[in-house]
Amino acid sequence: MTTIHLILRYTHISMGMLALLSGAGAMILPKGTRSHRWTGNAFAGSMVVMAASGTTIALFITPVAGNVMGGLMASYLVATGWAAAWRRPRETGSLEIVLALLGLVTAVAGFTFSYQAAHAPMHELDGSPPAFYAVFGSVALLATALDVRMLARGGFSGAQRTARHLSRMGLAMFMANASFFLGQAKLFSPAVRASGVLKVPVLLVIGAVLYWLVRVRVWPRLRRIRAPRLAPGQR
């Protein structure tokens, strides 16, 4: 293992651990507070460094298409999620355009890898089937289309802006948790793996993201629908 590979590997590992800890803190701490912003910034920064180092290894040192796909997707999601909170309401700029292009590159890479896997002798690419890459490509394409929609509207505000931040950062956190607790399950003892406890952090992230999305987007609409029905009885 070369010195560069060693540096990249341990940068990837250390930033991954920081991402898990800071991401958990950002999800637990009260939203909008200074502590939430600090941990959120730490999560975004560590995720980008982790993804960049992992992608570099997967491209130039130990080629693995799946890791390239994961690195591109993680970088794109966390960057767009962070930008959604960093920008003022109803404001966009060149950063959002560049990130939309990154999303398009990620989608193209996903479908390209899927095509290569489908036409490979074993119908897989670096150990992953075509569907694996197609899912990444489809999610990236959908997210890019939403980027274009946001840019066409001149940015989001209110619940739309919050939901964009939550969904992008939440999906990035899901990837980080799944990659570590499920993708690196070999690091844990056989008893821990057999107990199923490694699935708990991943499920908690999914539950937390769904809760906040419902609270931000669905619950206010239900309250507006119910309000006219309650009004006559309140007179």
Round to whole Å and give the CA distance between 158 and 82: 16
Residue 230 lies in a domain: no
Residue 105 lies in a domain: yes
80 pLDDT above the threshold of 80: yes
Residue 79 lies in a domain: yes
- Give the mean model confidence (pLDDT) for residues 16-25: 96
Query: What percent of the chain has pLDDT above 70?
Result: 96
Residue 76 buriedness (CB in 10 A; 0-12 / 13-18 / 19+):
buried
Q: pTM for the complete prediction?
A: 0.92
Q: Domain tally for the chain?
A: 1
Round to whole Å and give the CA distance between 162 and 216: 7
Q: Higher confidence at residue 170 or residue 32?
A: 170
Residue 119 lies in a domain: yes
Residue 235 lies in a domain: no
Residue 181 lies in a domain: yes
State which residues form the domain around 132.
3-223
- Give the pLDDT confidence score for residue 114 in this predicted structure: 98
Residue 233 lies in a domain: no
Residue 55 lies in a domain: yes
